[in-house]
Amino acid sequence: MSKKQTNKKQNSTIALNRKARHEYFLEDRFEAGISLQGWEVKSIRQGKVNLSDSYVILNDGQAYLFGAQIQALNSASSHVVCDPERSRKLLLHKREIEKLIGLKERDGYTLIATAMYWKACWVKLEFHLAKGKKSFDKRDDIKDRDWSREKERMMKHSKR
pLDDT averaged over consecutive 10-residue blocks of the chain (160 residues)?
Answer: 49 87 88 90 89 92 92 72 85 93 85 93 93 78 86 81
146 inside domain? no
The answer to whether residue 143 sits within a structural domain is no
Centroid of chain to Cα 153: 32
Residue 86's domain comprises: 13-133
Contact between residue 31 and residue 65 where contact means Cβ atoms under 8 Å apart:
no
* pTM to 2 decimal places: 0.74
Structural domain contains residue 122: yes
CA pair distance 62, 35, nearest whole angstrom: 12
What's the structural domain count of the chain? 1
Q: What is the pLDDT of residue 76?
A: 61
Is residue 4 included in any domain, yes or no?
Answer: no
CATH code at 110?
2.40.280.10
**What's the CA gap between 86 and 80, in Å, rounded?**
14
* Alpha helices in the chain, H assignment, sequence order: 19-23, 38-46, 94-107, 135-158
61 part of a folded domain? yes
Q: What is the DSSP secondary structure assignment for residue 151, as one 8-state letter?
A: H
Q: Which residue, among 30, 31, 53, 25, has the nearest Cα to 130 in the 3D structure?
A: 25
In a domain, 113, yes or no: yes
Neighbours of 43 (CB within 10 A): 21
- pLDDT tens-digit map of 96-143: 999 999 888 888 789 999 999 999 889 999 999 998 877 777 788 888
